[in-house]
Amino acid sequence: MEVVRRGRERLARFGVEGAEKLDLFTALLGGMVNAQHANDPGGVRWARLLDEAMDMFADHVGLPR
């Protein structure tokens, strides 16, 4: 619960608020981490996509570049 609280606070600093946006962020990040561990442990197959995924999230929630 502490991790969720901190995540919510950090996203709110950038104007990203609301349970749906936090859930989307959590699912996106968690899904990528799980895919990396399950499909390419020790590699970078999914990790290399993190910046692009975060850019897509930022665009979706309306953050400036």
List pLDDT tens digits, range 16-60: 999 999 999 999 999 999 999 999 999 999 999 999 999 999 999
Helix count (H) and strand count (E) of the chain? 3, 0
**pLDDT band at residue 4 using 50, 70 and 90 as cut-offs:** confident
pLDDT the model gives residue 26:
93
Residue scoring higher pLDDT (14 or 64): 14
CB 11 within 8 A of CB 24: no
Q: Report the predicted TM-score, pTM, of the whole model to 2 decimal places.
A: 0.85
Give the residue among 63, 51, 65 at the shortest CA–CA distance from 21: 63
One-letter amino acid for residue 49 of the chain: L
**pLDDT band at residue 64 using 50, 70 and 90 as cut-offs:** confident
**d(C-alpha 53, C-alpha 50), whole Å:** 5
- The two tokens of residue 3 are 């991790």
